[in-house]
């Protein structure tokens, strides 16, 4: 029988919850530290998930239920301030004056949405009818765009892909991976809500990498008449009536274009969480690429870091979908169990 | 429009602007385009703000126009810039203030090049020494003249005689602000407020009581663009850019346009005449066009300077409707008199644009 160890999971989003679920029967003590007042992470503010439009809340409830009636301790509204290594364990300090001793730590800290206001030419935070994909999900959850479109029955709506992704100017050269299909999914949702709307997606190229993603893209064009224009938008400005004027280049026709929209949605990419950058003690150095934590080996040891005892799961390593995050967290739980067993032997 | 969003952007683009002891370099074209503006700037700094500002008559063009039209090589340009810095150094100054936005862009570009490629600075020093036996120090501070007025906008406001307010209605005047591309579009961090939502002219307008118009083609080029107008065959393109802006701003009923670039102010003013002659179109309701001011003229009006002493009779679009809105006192019959009271002659009347 392996001695009971204490595994601390930092982050109570999909990765943290799934990992806790995978570890709950391991016989070890599990603690989740979550900075928000509720667990579930960004799933809590999402409406539906691609590609099958499953309700995000269902997944969130499933994950939360999976740790109910277990011995998993959840510390909500708790912010980790320092992680130090002491002999064979770690000491975790929090702003709420906890001091936890951990044998293993799973970082499931997730991502930050790219701050779209950094793309100043798009006017997010300045023009009222420019929102992000995350704002749109909140609006879907709350009132189905009523506040945004004020009852317009034939609105023209534009999606701008790759905002904060594959963009050297804002410092992010990587692809956030999930935005393309999110744009397609959200465009379809808008057409379902407002059938007479005109929806345009401005893209560089569409990376429909996952199962049924390509089918969704074809469905968007064939069944919903959603327009896809290959070209980046150079700037957005507000017209006197509050509508938005965008300038773009249609790179397929090789011509500049100018169009007016009632609503523009910026498909903001993923960035690493910077608030966790400085919590590690000086002798704990995690390798990073594009800000995300680099595992020992992406192919065969994707959940292990260069620091023995510190593991990673989910989007703190790289942009991932919810499906991939959950699979990755299962992998992380299994990896941690194996590692503890090896340490005990 | 959310004002707080703009303020957030502006807070990211604050620049250090020296508060005194400036070495001033004039533009090579502004004295022809808007002949009183540079003198007004010097008067405001010396007489109203009690600042020390020095200029050396030996300074030359920065060769920016030649550079941007591929006539002057970059090495030559850097050496000429180095000579300007040498004049500044010899005069005992370290705060360099160019009047022209293209020059400001050139100086910014050269300093940035030297920062990233120090060997180019060394080479330039060598060229300058061989050519002139001069040496120089890199300025401690580089600011455009509009930056200086921006910095002291509240001081100017405190001693202002007039506000940018319609005297009859009490409403703020609607102002189109236009930033020269070379002010901050090449190096956003070198301009107050950055490139997308520049604050340098907006700050002045708002401090002096006006209301800035945010119209859709606000960022669009004025039409000056060297390659657009220097080649005669391209001038239709230059004109079409200006026309696009006028059509975009017209619904907001601007009372005047203010620019911080020699070319922008020139073309936005003169092309209104051309468009009127070509199409019979003007962009105000009375057929007089939209007055176009330099920021020095705007500051001068606020401070009570005579519009004719500032050279505003040289504008194509008449400024009198604006002067009347603000309530500026001026003598109509002195419009075409020179500084010493001599008759400078009246321009021919256009066919459509009312002057």
Each residue of B19-59: pLDDT tens digit? Answer: 999 999 999 999 888 999 999 999 999 999 999 999 999 99
Sign of CA dihedral A243, A246, A250, A256: positive
CATH class of A116-269: alpha beta
What pLDDT is stored for residue A48 in this prediction? 97
Task: Point out the residue among A117, A124, A237 whose CB comes nearest to the CB of B218.
Answer: A237
**In whole angstroms, what is the distance from residue A187 CA to residue A179 CA?**
12
- Interface contacts A/B by beta carbons within 8 Å: 42
CB-based contact A126 B1, cutoff 8 Å: yes
Whether A125 sits inside 8 A of B8 (CB atoms) is yes
Is residue B25 a contact partner of residue B57, using CB atoms and an 8 Å limit? no
Express each pLDDT in B182-236 by its tens digit: 999 999 999 999 999 999 999 999 999 999 999 999 999 998 888 788 888 888 9
Q: What is the pLDDT of residues A52-105, one digit of tens each?
A: 999 999 999 999 999 988 889 999 999 999 999 988 899 999 999 999 999 999
* Confidence band of B3 (pLDDT split at 50, 70, 90): confident
Q: Do B6 and A126 touch (CB under 8 A)?
A: yes
**Chain A residues touching residue B197 (CB < 8 angstroms):** 120, 126
State the pLDDT at residue A310.
96
Given a cut of 60, whether residue B321 has pLDDT beyond it is yes
pLDDT digits (tens, 9 = 90+) for A281-323: 888 888 999 999 999 999 999 999 999 999 999 999 999 999 9
B216 to chain A, any CB pair closer than 8 A? The answer is: yes
Tokens of B240: 């079409």
List pLDDT tens digits, range B121-135. Answer: 999 999 999 999 999
Among 3.50.50.60, 3.40.50.300, 3.30.450.20, 3.40.50.970, what is the CATH number of A6-111+272-344? 3.50.50.60
Instruction: Judge whether B191 and B201 are in contact, CB under 8 Å.
Output: no
When the pLDDT of each residue in chain B is averaged and rounded to a whole number, the result is: 95
Pick among B1, B3, B4, B5 to test the A interface (most A CBs inside 10 A)? B5
Is the predicted pLDDT of residue A200 greater than 80, yes or no? Answer: yes
Confidence of residue B340 (pLDDT cuts 50, 70, 90): confident
- Comparing CB atoms, the residue among B5, B215, B251 nearest residue A126 is B5
Answer whether B217 touches A (CB < 8 Å).
Answer: yes
Three-class DSSP labels, chain A:
CCCCCEEEEECCCHHHHHHHHHHCCCCCEEEEECCCCCCCHHHHHCCEECCCCEEHHHHHHHHHHHHCCCCCEEECCCCEEEEEEECCEEEEEECCCCEEEECEEEECCCEEECCHHHCHHHCCCCCCCEEEHHHHHHHHHHCCCHHHHCCCCCCEEEEEEEECCCEHHHCECCCCCCHHHHHHHHHHHHHHHCCCCEEEEEECCCCCCCCCHHHHHHHHHHCCCCEEEECCEEEEEECCCCCEEEEEEECCCCEEEEEEECEEEEEECEEECHHHCCCECCCCCCCEECCEECCCECCCECCECCCCCEEECHHHCCCCCHHHHHHHHHHHHHHHHHHHHHHHC
The pTM is what? 0.91
pLDDT tens digits, one per residue of A12-38: 999 999 999 999 999 999 999 999 999
Q: What number of other Cβ atoms are within 10 A of residue A304's Cβ?
A: 19
Chain A partners within 8 Å of B1 (Cβ): 126-128, 238
Look up the ipTM and state it: 0.88
Listed in sequence order, the DSSP H helices in B280-318 are: 295-303
Given this model, what pLDDT does residue A2 score?
Answer: 67
CA distance B37 to chain A (A): 31
pLDDT bin (cut points 50, 70, 90) of residue B80 is very high
- Residue A156 has φ and ψ, to the nearest 5°, of -110, 125
Domain boundaries, chain B: 22-145, 160-332
Fold of B160-332: Rossmann fold (3.40.50)
pLDDT tens, position by position, B241-268 = 999 999 999 999 999 999 999 999 999 9
pLDDT of amino acid A1 = 54
Q: What's B22-145's CATH class?
A: mainly alpha
Q: Which residues, in sequence order, are bridge partners of residue A91?
A: A84, A101
**Domain map (residue ranges) of chain A:** 6-111+272-344, 116-269
A residues 68..127 contacting B (CB < 8 A): 117, 120-121, 123-127
DSSP tally for chain B: helices H, then strands E: 16, 8
Q: Cα–Cα distance between B196 and B202 in angstroms, integer?
A: 12
Dihedral of the CA atoms B299, B302, B306, B310 (nearest 10)? 10
- Strand, coil or helix: what is A283? coil
Q: Of B141, B181, B195, which Cα lies nearest the Cα of B12?
A: B195
Q: B266-304 pLDDT, tens per residue? A: 999 999 999 999 999 999 999 999 999 999 999 999 999
Q: What one-character DSSP code corresponds to residue A2?
A: P
Shortest CA gap A201–chain B (Å):
21
Minimum distance, in Å, between the CA of residue A261 and any CA atom of chain B: 13
Residue A128: list chain B partners with CB under 8 A.
Answer: 1-2
């Amino acid at each position: 029988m392996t001695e009971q160890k204490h595994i601390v999971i930092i982050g109570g989003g999909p990765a943290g919850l799934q990992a806790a679920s995978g570890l709950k029967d391991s016989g070890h003590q599990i603690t989740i530290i979550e900075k928000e007042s509720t667990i579930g992470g960004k799933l809590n503010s999402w409406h539906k998930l691609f590609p099958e439009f499953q309700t995000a809340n269902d997944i969130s409830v499933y994950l939360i239920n999976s740790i109910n009636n277990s011995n998993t301790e959840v510390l909500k509204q708790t912010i980790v301030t320092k992680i130090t290594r002491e002999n064979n364990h770690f000491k975790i300090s929090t702003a709420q004056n906890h001091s936890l001793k951990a044998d293993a730590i799973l970082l499931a800290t997730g991502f930050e949405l790219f701050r779209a206001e950094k793309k100043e030419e798009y006017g997010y935070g300045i023009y009222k009818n420019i929102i992000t994909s995350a704002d749109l999900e909140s609006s879907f959850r709350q009132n189905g765009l009523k506040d945004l479109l004020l009852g317009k029955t034939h609105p023209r709506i534009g999606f701008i892909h790759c905002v904060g992704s594959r963009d050297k100017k804002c410092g992010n050269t990587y692809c956030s991976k999930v935005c393309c299909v999110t744009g397609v999914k959200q465009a379809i949702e808008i057409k379902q809500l407002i059938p007479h709307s005109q929806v345009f997606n401005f893209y560089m190229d569409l990376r429909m990498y996952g199962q049924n993603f390509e089918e969704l893209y074809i469905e968007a064009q064939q069944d919903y008449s959603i327009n896809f224009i290959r070209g980046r938008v150079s700037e957005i400005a507000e017209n006197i009536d509050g509508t938005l004027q965008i300038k773009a280049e249609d790179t397929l026709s090789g011509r500049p274009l100018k169009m007016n929209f009632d609503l523009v949605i910026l498909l903001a990419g993923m960035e690493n969480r910077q608030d966790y950058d400085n919590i590690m003690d000086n002798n704990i150095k995690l390798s990073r690429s594009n800000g995300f934590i680099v595992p020992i080996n992406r192919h065969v040891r994707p959940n292990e870091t260069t620091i023995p005892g510190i593991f990673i799961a989910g989007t703190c390593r790289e942009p991932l979908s919810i499906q991939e995050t959950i699979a990755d967290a299962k992998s992380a739980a299994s990896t941690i169990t194996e590692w503890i067993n090896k340490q005990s032997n | 429009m959310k004002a707080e969003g703009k303020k957030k952007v502006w807070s990211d683009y604050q620049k250090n602007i020296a508060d005194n002891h400036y070495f001033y370099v004039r533009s090579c074209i502004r004295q022809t385009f808007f002949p009183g503006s540079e003198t007004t700037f010097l008067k405001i700094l010396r007489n109203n703000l009690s600042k020390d500002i020095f200029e050396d008559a030996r300074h030359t063009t920065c060769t920016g126009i030649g550079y941007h039209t591929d006539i002057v090589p970059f090495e030559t340009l850097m050496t000429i810039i180095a000579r300007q810095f040498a004049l500044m150094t010899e005069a005992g100054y370290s705060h360099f203030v160019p009047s022209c936005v293209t020059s400001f862009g050139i100086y910014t570009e050269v300093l940035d090049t030297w920062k990233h490629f120090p060997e180019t600075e060394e080479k330039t020093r060598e060229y300058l020494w061989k050519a002139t036996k001069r040496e120089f120090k890199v300025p401690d501070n580089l600011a455009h003249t509009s930056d200086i007025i921006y910095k002291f906008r509240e001081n100017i406001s405190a001693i202002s005689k007039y506000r940018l307010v319609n005297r009859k209605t009490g409403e703020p005047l609607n102002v189109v602000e236009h930033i020269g591309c070379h002010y901050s579009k090449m190096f956003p961090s070198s301009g107050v407020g950055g490139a997308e939502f520049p604050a340098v002219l907006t700050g002045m307008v708002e401090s002096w009581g006006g209301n800035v118009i945010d119209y859709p083609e606000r960022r669009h080029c004025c039409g000056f663009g060297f390659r657009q107008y220097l080649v005669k065959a391209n001038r239709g393109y230059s004109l079409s850019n200006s026309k696009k802006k006028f059509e975009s701003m017209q619904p907001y009923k601007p009372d005047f346009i203010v620019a911080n670039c020699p070319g922008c102010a020139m073309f936005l003013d003169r092309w209104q005449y051309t468009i009127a002659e070509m199409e019979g179109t003007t962009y105000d309701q009375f057929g007089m066009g939209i007055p176009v001011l330099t920021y020095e003229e705007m500051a001068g009006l606020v401070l009570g300077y005579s519009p004719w002493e500032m050279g505003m009779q040289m504008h194509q679009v008449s400024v009198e409707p604006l002067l009347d809105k603000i309530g500026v006192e001026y003598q109509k019959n002195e419009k075409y008199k020179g500084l010493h009271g001599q008759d400078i002659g009246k321009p021919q009347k256009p066919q459509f644009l009312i002057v």
